[in-house]
């Protein structure tokens, strides 16, 4: 995988990590001072990879709205009006479609959110844009944690996590859709477990006041933590009829996401950074102006990939053409060798051919004169034609019979006898004795005999001479038609024909 720069911003801290091959390097911190900004600029000079900014701030607001279902420019105008109504003082805002209602007008349920203190983000973003760094997006932990709850079986879920540089993050999901999130700082004198117990009750009461969770509904609280903090949490937390506590093991989550990181405590910041690197949300707080250089970086990568593919294709085509040219050259050499050999054989034949030359063997016009008498040439031509007549290939003789059989499917071939005889005019005749069966003879004797007669006529039209030898019914004085009918009613009737083929003169 390609390298990425992962930045994390909280109210008091800002640090950077280089992510490569599912591994995070040591965090490098920068202070919000002149020296800190210069140090961050030097860091950017040394790293030219795309940047993903993850924020965890108290100043993040969420509003859920039900609006008419619109598309295109109408939807965009409605969203802009809501942004101007709620978050006119910040450019870091986004909306996400939660769901479309299934009844009534089928309105859209949208979640609007924004970072309400833009100065905290802008001071660092300005440095990134001034150095033309490709910024992929600005994301928050509540939006980035959605993939973690997809397999949790709960309609009312409160997900708790602790980020060492930010505090305790509580995100509420209704039917697996983010509805609300709040961040509570943990001061040095407070216990992690005590803060969770206190803040969970406050959050549950706040959700009841907003009518997000019915009083009779059980609130499932899932806490992301390290195994060594479980005992301390169990001592301060107890499930009841309103709240049920469960734990998500932090190292196990990292292992499931194939994160190469050794968790020493319950700090979930490395987990969220890795999750952002492998599965960033589709929407972010960054505007098109903020991601301008990232789009250019993507286009550059696409052009580079296209150029590489073109170069590889040309290389393969060149190699193919080379080998094909080599094959053609070898073929030309083989043809040249065969031509030379044939010329040598022709010269040998010419030398052996009888010639009519002067006694000195020299043609008066120059060269060697090779001649033959007219009678010898006529005899040779006649002999050649007779050989052609007597050496007709079998496929030529049987071609017409085969094509005719394809048009008469009820006739099946049992056996063929073949011999060659001489006709009255001394031309060779190919005599084929055809033994066959006529299927579906049944009781329609006249129809079946007509079918066989049409078969014979079809052969006669293509220059075969057909003579019946044996028909399915014996019409002679010695034959018994009744006996033939009784014995052959349920089986094919046998017949045989003499088929004579003669060459055309």
pLDDT of residue 483: 43
Q: Give residue 203's pLDDT band: very low, low, confident or very high (50, 70, 90).
A: confident
Asked if residue 358 has pLDDT above 90, the reply is no
- What distance in Å separates the CA atoms of residue 370 and residue 47, rounded to the nearest whole number? 91
The residue among 275, 290, 305 that closes a domain is 290
Q: What's CA 53's distance to the chain center, in Å?
A: 33
Task: Give 440's Cβ-side CA count (13 Å radius).
Answer: 8
285 in the same domain as 403: no
367 in the same domain as 398: no
The edge-to-edge listing of strands for the beta sheet with 411-422 is: 411-422, 428-438, 493-501, 464-470
pLDDT of residue 10: 95
Instruction: List the one residue out of 140, 183, 145, 169 whose CA is nearest residue 286.
Output: 140
Query: Apex CA 8: angle with CA 7 and CA 11, to 5°?
Result: 140
- What distance in Å separates the CA atoms of residue 180 and residue 31, rounded to the nearest whole number? 30
Contact 83, 110 (CB under 8 A): no
pLDDT of residue 321: 72
- What distance in Å separates the CA atoms of residue 389 and residue 502, rounded to the nearest whole number? 9
Any domain includes 490? yes
493 in the same domain as 365: no
- What distance in Å separates the CA atoms of residue 436 and residue 414, rounded to the nearest whole number? 5
269 in the same domain as 407: no
398 in the same domain as 366: no
Map residue 482 onto helix, strand or coil. Answer: helix
Count of domains forming the chain: 3
What percent of the chain lies above the pLDDT cut of 90?
A: 42
Map residue 17 onto helix, strand or coil. Answer: strand
363 in the same domain as 261: no
Asked if residue 368 has pLDDT above 60, the reply is no
The residue among 388, 412, 442 that closes a domain is 388
Q: What's CA 179's distance to the chain center, in Å?
A: 37
Average pLDDT over residues 327-332: 72
Any domain includes 252? yes
Instruction: List the one residue out of 351, 162, 175, 364 whose CA is nearest residue 263.
Output: 162
Q: Give residue 389's pLDDT band: very low, low, confident or very high (50, 70, 90).
A: low
Sign of the four-CA dihedral 442, 447, 450, 451: negative
pLDDT of residue 38: 95
Any idea which of 22-36, 263-277, 485-499 has the lowest mean pLDDT? 485-499
Any domain includes 463? yes
- What distance in Å separates the CA atoms of residue 102 and residue 110, rounded to the nearest whole number? 15
Asked if residue 336 has pLDDT above 80, the reply is no
Helix extents (H) in 11-98: 34-46, 72-86
Average pLDDT over residues 180-202: 84
Map residue 153 onto helix, strand or coil. Answer: coil
Any domain includes 396? yes
Contact 347, 339 (CB under 8 A): no
122 in the same domain as 31: yes
Any domain includes 338? no
Any domain includes 54? yes
Q: Read off the tokens for 280.
A: 């960033």
Map residue 33 onto helix, strand or coil. Answer: coil
Asked if residue 484 has pLDDT above 70, the reply is no
374 in the same domain as 400: no
Say which DSSP state 69 is in. Answer: -
Say which DSSP state 260 is in. Answer: B
Average pLDDT over residues 22-40: 94
The residue among 265, 290, 315 that closes a domain is 290
172 in the same domain as 32: yes
pLDDT of residue 214: 67
The edge-to-edge listing of strands for the beta sheet with 108-115 is: 60-67, 108-115, 93-100
Map residue 390 onto helix, strand or coil. Answer: helix
Contact 218, 243 (CB under 8 A): yes
Asked if residue 201 has pLDDT above 80, the reply is yes
Average pLDDT over residues 168-191: 88
Residue whose token pair is 């007549």: 389
- Give φ, ψ of 94 to 5 degrees: -155, 165
167 in the same domain as 28: yes
Query: Apex CA 318: angle with CA 313 and CA 323, to 5°?
Result: 130
- What distance in Å separates the CA atoms of residue 34 and residue 36, rounded to the nearest whole number? 5
Beta bridge mates, 111: 64, 96
372 in the same domain as 242: no
- What distance in Å separates the CA atoms of residue 254 and residue 224, rounded to the nearest whole number? 11
Average pLDDT, the chain: 84
- What distance in Å separates the CA atoms of residue 430 and residue 457, rounded to the nearest whole number? 19
pLDDT of residue 270: 95
Any domain includes 91? no
- What distance in Å separates the CA atoms of residue 494 and residue 413, rounded to the nearest whole number? 10
Asked if residue 198 has pLDDT above 90, the reply is no
Range of the domain at 368: 356-388
Task: Give 102's Cβ-side CA count (13 Å radius).
Answer: 0
Contact 14, 21 (CB under 8 A): no
Contact 435, 496 (CB under 8 A): yes
Average pLDDT over residues 355-369: 50
Any domain includes 306? no
Contact 139, 94 (CB under 8 A): no
pLDDT of residue 502: 81
202 in the same domain as 141: yes
Asked if residue 352 has pLDDT above 80, the reply is no
pLDDT of residue 14: 97
Average pLDDT over residues 161-186: 92
- What distance in Å separates the CA atoms of residue 302 and residue 319, rounded to the nearest whole number? 26
> Which is higher by pLDDT, 37 or 502?
37
Contact 207, 215 (CB under 8 A): no
Average pLDDT over residues 395-408: 86
Any idea which of 9-23, 27-41, 95-109, 130-144 has the lowest mean pLDDT? 95-109
Q: What's CA 433's distance to the chain center, in Å?
A: 60
> Which is higher by pLDDT, 16 or 492?
16
Which CATH number goes with the domain that contains 404? Answer: 3.30.1360.100
């Amino acid at each position: 995988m390609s390298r990425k720069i992962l930045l994390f911003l909280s109210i008091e801290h800002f640090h950077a990590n280089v992510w490569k091959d599912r591994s995070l390097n040591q965090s490098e911190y920068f202070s919000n001072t002149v020296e800190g900004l210069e140090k961050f600029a030097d860091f950017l000079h040394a790293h030219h990879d795309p940047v993903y900014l993850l924020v965890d701030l108290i100043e993040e607001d969420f509003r859920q709205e039900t609006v008419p279902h619109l598309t295109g420019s109408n939807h965009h105008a409605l969203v802009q009006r809501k942004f101007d109504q709620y978050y006119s003082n910040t450019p870091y805002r986004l909306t996400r479609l939660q769901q479309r209602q299934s009844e009534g007008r089928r309105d859209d349920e949208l979640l609007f959110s924004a970072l309400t203190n833009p100065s905290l983000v802008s001071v660092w973003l300005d440095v990134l844009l001034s150095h033309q760094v490709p910024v992929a997006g600005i994301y928050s932990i509540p939006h980035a944690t959605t993939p973690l709850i997809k397999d949790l079986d709960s309609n009312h879920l409160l997900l708790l996590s602790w980020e060492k540089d930010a505090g305790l993050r509580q995100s509420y999901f209704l039917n697996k859709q983010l509805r609300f999130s709040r961040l509570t700082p943990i001061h040095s004198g407070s216990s992690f477990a005590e803060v969770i117990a206190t803040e969970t009750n406050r959050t549950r009461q706040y959700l009841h006041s907003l009518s997000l969770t019915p009083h009779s509904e059980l609130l499932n609280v899932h806490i992301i933590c390290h195994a060594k903090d479980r005992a301390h949490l169990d001592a301060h937390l107890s499930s009841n009829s309103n709240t049920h506590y469960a734990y998500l093991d932090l190292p196990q989550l990292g292992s499931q996401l194939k994160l190469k990181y050794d968790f020493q405590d319950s700090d979930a910041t490395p987990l969220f950074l890795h999750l952002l690197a492998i599965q960033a949300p589709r929407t972010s707080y960054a505007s098109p102006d903020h991601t301008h250089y990232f789009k250019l970086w993507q286009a550059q990568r696409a052009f580079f990939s296209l150029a590489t593919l073109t170069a590889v294709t040309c290389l393969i085509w060149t190699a193919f053409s080379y080998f094909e040219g080599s094959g053609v050259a070898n073929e030309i050499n083989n043809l040249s060798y065969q031509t030379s050999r044939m010329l040598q054989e022709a010269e040998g034949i010419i030398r052996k051919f009888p010639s009519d030359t002067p006694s000195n063997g020299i043609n008066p016009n120059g060269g060697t004169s090779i001649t033959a008498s007219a009678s010898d040439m006529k005899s040779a031509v006649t002999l050649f034609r007779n050989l052609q007549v007597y050496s007709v290939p079998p496929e030529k003789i049987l071609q017409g019979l085969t094509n005719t059989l394809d048009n008469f499917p009820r006739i099946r071939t049992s056996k063929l006898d073949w011999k060659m005889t001489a006709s009255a005019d001394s031309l060779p005749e190919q005599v084929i004795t055809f033994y066959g069966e006529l299927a579906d003879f049944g009781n329609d004797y006249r129809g079946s005999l007509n079918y066989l007669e049409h078969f014979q006529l079809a052969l006669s039209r293509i220059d075969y001479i057909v003579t019946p030898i044996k028909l399915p019914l014996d019409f002679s004085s010695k034959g018994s038609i009744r006996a033939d009918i009784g014995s052959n009613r349920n089986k094919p009737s046998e017949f045989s024909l003499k088929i004579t083929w003669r060459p055309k003169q």
